[in-house]
Amino acid sequence: MFGLADVNSFYASCESLFRPDLRGKPVVVLSNNDGCVIARSADAKALGIKMGAPWFQIKNEQFHVKIHVFSSNCALYHSMSTRVMSCIEEMVPRLEVYSVDEGFCDCRGMDLTMTYENFGRMIRAHVLQCTGLTVGCGLAPTKTLAKSAQWASKEWPQFRGVLALTPTNPGRIEAMLARQPVEEIWGVGSRISKRLNLLGIKTALDLARTSPVFIRKNFSVVLERTVRLLNGEACIEMEDAPPPKQQIVVSRSFGERITSYDAMRQAICTYAERVGEKLRADRQFCHHVSVFIRTSPFDTGQPGYSSTAYVRLQVGTQDTRDIIGAAVKSLDTIWRPGFRYAKAGIMLDELRPNGIAQLNLFDAEKPRPGSEALMGLMDTMNRSGRYNIGFAGKGIQPEWRMKREMLSQAWTTNWKEIPIAKIC
């Protein structure tokens, strides 16, 4: 048995968590540069606000209630995600963190002491008590069925956020699948669902009753596996640890268009610093650093330009200084003046668990002495929430930095912004 715990409206719930005055009011979270809607509370959904809707359109609409809008506060969301997963991990033998707000649980044998529904309610109550966030739980013999059960637990209020589908009650599984649209199945997107609808496959039950051989022949082995999972055949096991990443990317759109080399160099240094932190957190070394810059395709009447360059390192590195050096070399190769750049990014490839490489006798490039200790110290100080140490190359308060005009406080990651309770 698998369990899937998913935080309800995660980003919007995090914004309301430390703001009791926002409970029961429409809350919306925007993407980078306050571009479009990426999260909505239940009250915001009731107003008809769509996922992905541009903010400049929504802010001009007249709603009968005030909408509370926030810029993305990734530090807050990551902090609360870690707390939620820690709470769930206390109650299950194994936990696979699937995304920032979802985790698969190993629930085998739980029915020896209690029903699966009661176990799901225990998880729900424990997370609520420890974090203040509400999770929905779906339990089933496969991951796909658990995902469908979790969807149904939110879709119909009579389940009160928890639904368990067991092999001993196949009729309940069929009844739920008959009510789930095929586009709501885990791994089935809008493009595939349209093709399935043309074949008369409109619900999850229709797909489950379709021949796996037919699906594999006309679609893919991935969709065939989904059919088998819907029928209770466990094709996907729990992952004790996420597989190592094949590449790491940091890419952002600028708050203002960049036209000068110095500003672009600052942006590249900033992204290199962030991608270096991710690399060390993943405990890997990179051997390939690439940089891309591009203009916006929506700047009508302006010349367009996009290019990428890379540097291959002879020695694997985790050192931000090496990444910055390689990134700036790549930037110098592709930089062209006279354009209004809208986006840039850095990508690390050829990631390995160590920096060992066969060196040439005449190679001038050698590992930096004391690199691991220095980078470790910087990461530790930055994670403490009390310091912000970086490289001077990224500049101070640049004009191109990402727009976050409605950013909430760092309630859990900054000592100066921790909420203070006033007792009268």
Q: What is the pLDDT of residues 61-114, one digit of tens each?
A: 888 888 999 999 988 999 999 999 999 999 998 999 988 999 999 988 888 888
Mean pLDDT of the chain: 88
**Mean of the pLDDT values across residues 120-135?**
93
pLDDT band, very low/low/confident/very high, at 234 (cuts 50, 70, 90): confident
Report yes or no on 263 lying in a domain. Answer: yes
Q: What's the pLDDT at 414?
A: 80
For residue 366, pLDDT over 80 is answered with no
- 129 inside domain: yes
pLDDT of 362 > 90? The answer is no
Q: What is the pLDDT of residue 189?
A: 81
User: Which of 357, 289, 366, 297 has its CA nearest to residue 320?
Assistant: 289
134 and 252 share a domain?
Answer: no
pLDDT of residue 274: 93
Q: Which residues does residue 28 pair with via DSSP β-bridges, in sequence order?
A: 40, 69
pLDDT at site 7 = 93
Instruction: Please state, in angstroms and rounded to a whole number, the distance separating the CA atoms of residues 33 and 219.
Output: 38
Coil vs helix vs strand at 2: strand
Residue 370: the pLDDT is: 87
**CATH code of the domain covering residue 91:** 3.30.70.270
pLDDT average, residue stretch 310-332: 91
Residue 55 has pLDDT above 90, yes or no: no
Q: 355 falls in which pLDDT band (50, 70, 90)? A: low
* Structural domain includes residue 315: yes
Cα separation, 347 vs 338, whole angstroms = 25
β-pairing, 162-164 with 135-140?
parallel
* pLDDT above 80 for 255: yes
Spatial contact of 226 and 235, defined as CB atoms under 8 Å apart: no
Strand ranges (E), 318-397 = 341-349
Whether 291 contacts 327, CB under 8 Å: yes
Q: Which of the four pLDDT bands, split at 50, 70 and 90, describes residue 356? A: low
- Helix, coil or strand: residue 111: helix
Question: Distance between alpha carbon 262 and the CA centroid of its chain, in Å?
Answer: 31
Q: Bigger pLDDT: 88 or 234?
A: 88
Tell me the mean pLDDT in the region 336-343. 92
Between CA 245 and CA 241 the distance in angstroms is: 12
Last residue of a domain, one of 99, 124, 139: 139
**pLDDT exceeds cutoff 70 at 172:** yes
Q: Do the domain assignments include residue 167? A: no
Number of domains in the chain: 2
pLDDT at position 243 over 80: no
Instruction: Calculate the alpha carbon distances from 354 to 249, 285, 315, 347, 351 in Å.
Output: 19, 6, 10, 18, 9
Name which residue leads in pLDDT, 125 or 416. 125
- Do both 135 and 254 map to the same domain? no
What's the pLDDT at 123?
93
Q: Looking at the domain assignment, is residue 410 inside a domain?
A: no
Q: Which of 113, 139, 165 is the last residue of a domain?
A: 139
> For position 61, what pLDDT does the model report?
84
Burial 136-169 (b: 16+ CB within 10 A, else e): bbbbbbbbbbbbbbbbbbbeeeebebbbbbbeee
> Per-residue pLDDT for 33 more than 80?
yes
Using the predicted structure, report yes or no on whether residue 358 has a pLDDT greater than 70: no
Q: Is residue 363 pLDDT above 70, yes or no?
A: no
Q: Which domain holds residue 252?
A: 248-394
The answer to whether residue 96 is domain-embedded is yes
Checking DSSP bridges between strand 27-30 and strand 68-70, what pairing results, if any?
parallel
Instruction: Look at residue 302 in the predicted model and tell me its pLDDT.
Output: 85
246 vs 125: which has the higher pLDDT: 125
Closest-CA residue to 164 (of 204, 225, 121): 121
The whole-number pLDDT of residue 320 equals 93
Contacts of 245 (CB under 8 A, 6+ apart): 282, 284, 351
Q: Which helix (H) or strand (E) holds 288?
A: strand 286-295
Residue 335 sits in a domain of what CATH number?
Answer: 3.30.1490.100
**The pLDDT of residue 322:** 92
Q: What integer pLDDT is reported at residue 6 of this predicted model?
A: 92
Q: Which residue has the tokens 């600052």?
A: 266
Please check whether residue 165 lies inside any domain of the structure.
no
